[in-house]
Structure formats: C-alpha cells, structure tokens
Structure 1
Amino acid sequence: MNDHRMVLSVPRYRLVIFDWDGTLMDSEARIVDCLQAASRETGMGELSAAAARDIIGLGLPEAMERLFPGIDAVQGEALVAAYKRHFVTVDTTPLAFFPGVEAGLARLRAHPDQLLAVATGKSRRGLDRMFEYHACGSWFHASRTADMTLSKPHPLMLEELLLELNVEAHEALMVGDTEYDLEMARALGMHSIGVDYGVHSVPRLEACAPQRVVSHFDELMDWLYVPQS
C-alpha cells in the first residue's frame, strides 16, 4: 500500500523577534529625510544621507549623540523633538511593509504555538502609531522599544522579551537589517538572521555571525520552516 502521509512544515523557533524599520517596514527614506530636516532646523548643518542611514535602529537620543558628537542635553532634546515633529506631522509619506512581510507573518501566525515579537529603536508612542495605522498590533505577542529599556545593541530588550514570553534564548530568533540587531542577539547566544534590503551592508551583517543573510522576506520564510513527516 502506498504511503500517503502528509509532509508538514513547522517553524524552527518558538519565538521570532523582528526589528521594525528596515526589516518589516520600508521606512528608510522617510527617516533619513526627517533626520536631515531636523539637523538643518536646529542649526547643526547638512547631514549626509549615509550618516543618517547608519544610525537607523538606535534609540533617538543615542542616534543623535552618534551623529553629532559633543552635543549637550539641550541640543540633543531639540534634535529629537525636531525629528519627531517632521516624522509625525511634516513628512506624511505613506509607509508600507516590505514585499512578503504581511503574507509571511500571517503564515507564522497560523501556527497556534508560534510567538512573534518586535524589538525596535522606535519609541513606544511611535511603534503604537504604526500598529494602529496598519492594524497590526495584534500580530505580535510582545514588543519592546528603545525608550522602554536600553537602546540596541545592548541586549536588555531581548532579555525582557524572553522573560515576558517565558522563552529560552536558544528557542528564539532575532531578525534585523543592522549590526545593532544582530549584535544584541549574539550577546545572548541567540540565533539571528540578517536581511540585506535594509540599511547595513552584507559584510557588516556577516561580521555579526548570523545564521544567514537573506535578500527577501520570502527567503526568510522558506528557511524558517522545517519539514516534518
């Protein structure tokens, strides 16, 4: 008699943690434009697009300190306030998920035991705004933002997510487009995947020893599933 057993696929990890900007959301151009506008508005001069791109993923205070070494607290607060104003009310360029993200996350969510989370350099208010606009907050079981904990590449936000969801580091995967994402995972012995359609180059991502670097969200999804007979 022929064996007609169905071959199923299950995710490799109990928990998959995603960076937001540059990994799920195609927001690089808007972030860069708003950083440049904030620099000009606060009298800090012209900011190169390359410099602005490089700090995407960090918390805003940490990003401003890296972009403008030696600034004082007042200058830092002014830069952050100007950036937020431009991002929220001045530059209203629509933001969209990268190709494959919505379908891929829906596929993961179809598994009842699969946990999903977000670890981002955005603020809590900023991430919640994205959740509301795209009606996607319910897709994730937990999230951490830079103003709730410590900025990447410190691993505290990952530690907090693991604790909240009762998951061990070896059961989780971090997915991100920057060395900040992959370094915080490596600090905990957590596996990671780099995506090369974001802001950091493939050599920078590979230097952080990810499981692999992918070029499309569909490629990530294909790798995430393990056939089970």
Structure 2
Amino acid sequence: MTDLTAGLPQPRYRLVIFDWDGTLMDSEARIVDCLQAASLATGMGELPAHAARDIIGLGLPEAMERLFPGATAEQCEALVAAYKAHFVAVDTTPLDFFPGVEAGIQRLRSHPDQLLAVATGKSRRGLDRMFTAHDCGDWFHASRTADLTLSKPHPRMLEELLAELNVEAHEALMVGDTEYDLEMARALGMHSVGVDYGVHSVPRLEACAPQRIVSHFDELMDWLYVAR
C-alpha cells in the first residue's frame, strides 16, 4: 500500500491548540472599545485602554471581576451584558485574521495526521459567531470556550480537549498571545509557543517558559514541521 504521507514534513505535535483573540484574529481594538463602552454604559466610569488590553483572553465574568474589583455581582452581570450588546450590535468594526493565519491553517490541515483545536476566553455563542462569519468552523476538530468550562489560566479547557481528542499532554502544543494561555499549558506540562503580536509583552510571555516566541504566524508554521 502506498504511504500518502511519504515525503511530507513530520508534525512536531499531534494536536495544536490555538487561542483565538490576539493569536488568530486581530480583534484587540474592538474588544478594548467594547469594554470601555460597557464601563461607561453601566456607570463604572472611564476604563484605561491598557487595563482593558491586559484581560483579553479571560472569560468575560473573570475579566470584569479583575477590571472592577469593587463591583457587585449585579454590576458585573450588567457589565457583561453591556459588553456583549456593544460587540454584537454597536461596534461593527470588521475583524480579520492576522497575516499568514489562513494560509498557515490550510497548510496544517493538509497533513492527514494533524489535529487542530481552539481554546478561548470567548463564549460559545461568540466563537460560533466568528466561525460562521469567517466560514472557518471546519478548520478545527474541537473547541472550548470559557463559559462552558473554567476560564484561563485554569487548565480545564485543555484537559477537556486532550480527553476529547485522545491526545496526551506531551503530544500537544498551546499557541497564544497571553500569559493566561501559556500558564494553563505549563500547568499540564504541555509545550507552548507565544506570539508577540498580541496583547502581552515578550517578558511576560518568556516568564511562562514557552518553547519559543514568534513574531509572525509564518514563523510558527515553519517551526511546526520537521523534515523526515
């Protein structure tokens, strides 16, 4: 029988798990704008952009608790609702993938043994909305969102993805732009790669001991495969 994978580069990992915002999708500006709008709409005052940037990647309830430590549960619920309303209905800033993402994912998908997944702080509804808008849901074999499991940096969503896809932690890689992404991987002994074009600084990413830090999606793609 002919080996259809003969001559193809060998993937370093059976499973590559991607963060969404700041790693695959260039959504920082819109998220910051919506967080600031939610703060004003609920009477919480002006929210500095740097503070809003810092919590991108967390689940919305956890993000609001961190941004507004004195807020009541009711205020946090109102903030979450205001953010969602602004993101869906008010701010229509177009969102797109970072350069190299679409071609890179297609390159990954061309290998028959490569598994792909998403682990994100978005809600299930929010991620599905992105999948539909960009016709990319079939790129991934599985996904986890913060509202249906535990928010980053807790590793629960990674544990669930590993179990669903029957992959061991040492066979998987987490790719993200924040310390929240890399910390949840480190908690499981999973390898990680940081991208420096997202929201957290290189020193913060380096503190989480990733395998490497890349500045462009193409760099990640070139590193993910090794010649046979």
Q: Which amino acid aligns with 1:102?
A: E
Q: SS in structure 1 opposite 2:43?
A: coil
Cα drift, residue 8 of structure 1: 3.5
Residues paired across the two proteins, number: 223
Q: SS in structure 1 opposite 2:34?
A: helix
Q: Which amino acid aligns with 1:185?
A: A
Does residue 217 (structure 1) correspond to residue 217 (structure 2)? The answer is yes
Cα drift, residue 129 of structure 1: 0.1
Aligned to 2:226: 226
Aligned to 1:61: 61
Q: Which amino acid aligns with 1:81?
A: A
Measured in 2, the distance between the counterparts of 1:7 and 1:116 equals 22
Cα drift, residue 7 of structure 1: 5.2
Cα drift, residue 71 of structure 1: 1.0
Runs of 5+ in structure 1 lacking a partner? Answer: 1-5
Aligned to 2:9: 9
Q: SS in structure 1 opposite 2:147?
A: coil
Does residue 195 (structure 1) correspond to residue 195 (structure 2)? The answer is yes
Q: Which amino acid aligns with 2:69?
A: P
Aligned to 1:76: 76
Aligned to 1:94: 94
Matches within 5 A, 1:139-218: 139-218=139-218
Deviations along 1:95-125, one digit per CA (max 9) or x if unpaired, are: 0000000000000000111100000000000
Runs of 5+ in structure 2 lacking a partner? Answer: 1-5
TM-score by length of 1: 0.96
Aligned to 1:34: 34
TM-score by length of 2: 0.97
Does residue 104 (structure 1) correspond to residue 119 (structure 2)? The answer is no
Matches within 5 A, 1:130-145: 130-145=130-145
- Which segments of structure 1 move beyond 4 Å, counting only runs of 4 or more? none
Identity across the alignment (%): 87
